[in-house]
């Protein structure tokens, strides 16, 4: 099956970045329901699965050794350390899906987005921001998936990420989720 992405044969690459708890996962889930033609990259990580997360569906959950092998074999398009764990985008499937002309979406943190900016300068880079830092903290805590220590690390990191938002092609504020989905559709050139 071929997916026509604007007028070019190669698929379009979009990167979504934003602090932990801002709602990236929620937004991407809705976007994929509306646009099944989009291919979402499944990352590799050394983080342990959260309750309900499935290996090969939410992430490829790897040991530290296996992750290191992937990186050393140049198997990652980008990779970074985040809040004590490693995360990376497997290179091969992304290339494959782009060559099929399919829109490809990466949901990754700041350092990874910077690496992709160097290797794929044509990719559209979108930063998802919270309406306020207080609301971001409420959301991370409301999700109740991390220990207090992990929450603190993520909040420290969130401040750094928020300071980098001007590097991105567009900033979408995730206040009302539906409004953010519509904005994202428009930035990605998708028909509603
Ligand atoms: P991320 O993937 O960026 O870490 P999640 O998608 O897991 O964030 O969202 C974190 C929490 O915030 C979840 O409990 C989610 O239901 C909630 N959330 C997401 N978007 C909104 C929104 N627009 N308004 C209120 N709560 C939201
Ligand atoms: P979480 O542990 O909450 O699932 O993800 C933590 C952070 O890692 C999020 O900001 C998420 O976007 C980012 N992330 C997930 N996969 C990747 C990846 O493949 N590469 C990079 N650089 N970051 C990723």
SS (H, E, C) 89-139: EEHHHHHHHHHCCCCEEEECCHHHHHHHHHHCCCCEEEEEECCCHHHHHHH
Look at the alpha carbons of 102, 103, 108, 111 in this order and tell me if their dihedral is positive or negative: positive
How would residue 83 be classed by pLDDT, with cut points 50, 70 and 90?
Answer: confident
For ligand 2, atom 11, name the residue with the nearest CA.
108
pLDDT exceeding 90 applies to what percent of the chain?
Answer: 89
**pLDDT (tens digit, 9 = 90+) per residue, 45-64?**
999 999 999 999 999 999 99
This model's pTM is above 0.75: yes
Q: What is the mean pLDDT of residues 94-112?
A: 96
Separation between Cα atoms, residue 145 and residue 23, nearest integer Å: 14
**pLDDT (tens digit, 9 = 90+) per residue, 8-37?**
346 699 999 999 999 999 999 999 999 999
pLDDT at 86 over 60: yes
- Domains in the chain (CATH in brackets) are 5-188 (3.40.50.300)
DSSP state of 173: E
Give yes or no for residue 21 CB within 6 A of ligand 1: yes
Test site for ligand 2: of 112, 142, 144, most ligand atoms within 8 A of the Cβ: 112
> What is the pLDDT of the chain when averaged over all its residues?
93
pLDDT at 3 over 60: no
CA-nearest of 118, 108, 116 to 161 is: 108
Q: Are strands 104-107 and 39-40 parallel, antiparallel or unpaired?
A: parallel
**pLDDT (tens digit, 9 = 90+) per residue, 110-119?**
999 999 999 9
**pLDDT (tens digit, 9 = 90+) per residue, 130-150?**
999 999 999 999 988 889 999
Tokens of 43: 């990352």
pLDDT at 192: 65
Q: Which ligand is nearest to the CA of 176?
A: 1
DSSP state of 73: T
Test site for ligand 2: of 108, 118, 154, most ligand atoms within 8 A of the Cβ: 108
């Amino acid at each position: 099956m071929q997916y026509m992405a604007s007028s070019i044969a190669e698929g379009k690459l979009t990167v979504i970045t934003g602090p932990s708890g801002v709602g990236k996962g929620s937004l991407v889930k809705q976007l994929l329901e509306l646009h099944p033609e989009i291919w979402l990259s499944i990352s590799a990580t050394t983080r342990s699965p959260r309750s309900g997360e499935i290996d090969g569906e939410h992430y490829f959950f790897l040991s530290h050794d296996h992750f290191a092998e992937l990186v050393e074999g140049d198997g990652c398009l980008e990779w970074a350390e985040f809040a004590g764990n490693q995360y990376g985008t497997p290179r091969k499937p992304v290339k494959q899906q782009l060559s099929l002309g399919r829109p490809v979406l990466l949901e990754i943190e700041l350092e990874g987005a910077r690496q992709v900016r160097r290797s794929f300068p044509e990719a559209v880079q979108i930063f998802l921001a919270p309406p306020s830092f207080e609301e971001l903290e409420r959301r991370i805590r409301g999700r109740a998936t991390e220990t207090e220590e992990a929450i603190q690390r993520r909040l420290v990191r969130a401040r750094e990420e928020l300071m980098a938002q001007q590097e991105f092609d567009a900033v979408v504020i995730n206040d009302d989720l539906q409004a953010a989905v519509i904005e994202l559709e428009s930035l990605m050139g998708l028909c509603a």
